[in-house]
Chain A
Amino acid sequence: MSALRWAESVLLQLPMRIGLGGLFAYAAFMKIGNVQAFAFSIKGFKIVDADKHGHLIISAAYTMPWVEMIAGVLLVLGIWTRAAALTIGLMLIFFIAALLHVIFSPEVDADCSCFGDMNLVCSSTVGWCQVIRDIVMLVPVVYLLWRGGGILAFDTLFEHKCAPETAAQGSKNAQALDDDGIRG
């Protein structure tokens, strides 16, 4: 493995994974601790009618934090890095759309509750600050999707462990096909 790949892993991929994954895991932890407040926050965004589709809001209040938590932890550990990054990326795109919905709907005045009770960089009231923050968070997502978790990820460890077995299995299969006269 080249020194450049090591440098990339240590200086870019690992901090991105820990930063983004840790942030999402922390945000999830805050929401899981107070599902009720998160349900109120989702209702406040007025994406769906709470009277008609309250069950959707409650389902989302229970499911979203756990998806965030699993994706965040997987990203930190470097397991299924690309899948975890894509999950987080899709959630960020959804969050941006929801924030824009609030910003462009004058009758909706909602609190973000993005990190539970804590305000990261921006105030709790929804505004452009949160949109920019989410767009900034999309940068490491795209990078990790492109480059993967790097050398210091469990993905790479499993890859190396499995690689000899996979190669051996591949040659066995090829041999079997030759024997059956299917190939060549």
Chain B
Amino acid sequence: MKCMQTITGVLAIVGLGYLAGVGHSLVRTKPVILGASPMPAPAPKAPKADNPQADPAQGQSTDMGISTDPAFDARLDAPVPEGMLTLRQAHQMWIDGAYFVDSRHKYEYDAGRVSGAAHLTAETFFTDAGQAEMQTIPPDAQVVIYCLGGDECEASKNTLALLQQYGYTNLSIMGVGYDEWAAAGLPTDSDQTTEEGSP
């Protein structure tokens, strides 16, 4: 008898939870999404002379096209999943003034990030801090999102999908992770210091 009551109770709890969930979905203003809409494949841009982010004091202004170190070139052109930016393309966009968004955990972001990158993840997106970070990026700006890199970098895809929902259109994902960026000696920031990149 007690066993029957317990099972009935479980079913009642699950049923109530389901009804509450349905109610929640009805009052939620933004629909829950699972992925981004298809985006056009990124095209590498020609280097520009008037670079708003390539501050000589903070960044570096290496001409990516005339590097003579084959190992460094190989690192910049390392293969990435289809539709994502190589390190060379991402760096070129950084020079061109693209906004960078870090979608890793906060402690990873604090420890080191692409110079000037904002922190936006699915967890922080709807918080005040996340919304404030998003406000700093104009909707028509070129945005490059990165995380740990590779095909399994779901965090970048999730952030991209959320930004798309808010009307951002020029979104790209860096196919390699932050570690590769830092290992190549490209410009980084951390909470303590700003390091200068010199590939």
Contact = CB atoms under 8 A, between A and B. Distances in A.
Interface of A: 32, 34-37, 39-40, 43-44, 50-51, 54, 57-59, 61-71, 74, 80, 82-84, 86-87, 90, 107-110, 113, 116-117, 124, 145
Interface of B: 2, 5-10, 12-14, 16-18, 20-22, 24-25, 28, 30, 32-35, 105, 121-126, 152, 154, 158, 162
Contact of A67 (B9, B13, B33, B123): B13
B33 to A, nearest CB: 7
Given A39-B32, A39-B34, A40-B122, A83 B12 contact: yes
Contact of A83 (B10, B21, B24, B32): B10
A71 B81 CA distance: 43
Given A36-B33, A87-B10, 7 more contacts: A34-B125, A37-B121, A39-B32, A39-B34, A43-B154, A83-B5, A86-B9
B32 A86 contact: no
B21 A34 contact: no
Given A35-B24, A40-B34, A82 B123 contact: no
Contacts, number: 110
A71 B121 CA distance: 29
Contacts of A54: 34-35
Contacts of A69: 17, 20
A50 B6 CA distance: 34
B119 to A, nearest CB: 13
A71 B13 contact: yes
B35 A63 contact: no
Contacts of A43: 34, 154
B25 A36 contact: no
B32 to A, nearest CB: 5
B154 A83 contact: no
Contacts of B25: 58, 62
Given A43-B34, A43-B154, A67 B14 contact: yes
5 shortest interchain CB distances as A-B pairs: A83-B9, A67-B17, A62-B21, A66-B20, A63-B21
A66 B17 contact: yes
Given A34-B123, A35-B28, A83-B5, A63 B17 contact: yes
B2, B30, B34 interface centre (most CB from chain A within 10 Å): B34
Contacts of A32: 24
A40 B17 contact: no
A62 B19 CA distance: 10
Contact of B34 (A34, A57, A87): A57
A35 B6 CA distance: 29
B125 A70 contact: no
A64 B34 CA distance: 17
A36 B32 contact: yes
A67 B30 CA distance: 22
A36 to B, nearest CB: 5
A124 B28 CA distance: 27
A17 to B, nearest CB: 15
Contacts of B162: 36
A116 B123 contact: yes
A115 B13 CA distance: 20
Contacts of A39: 32-34
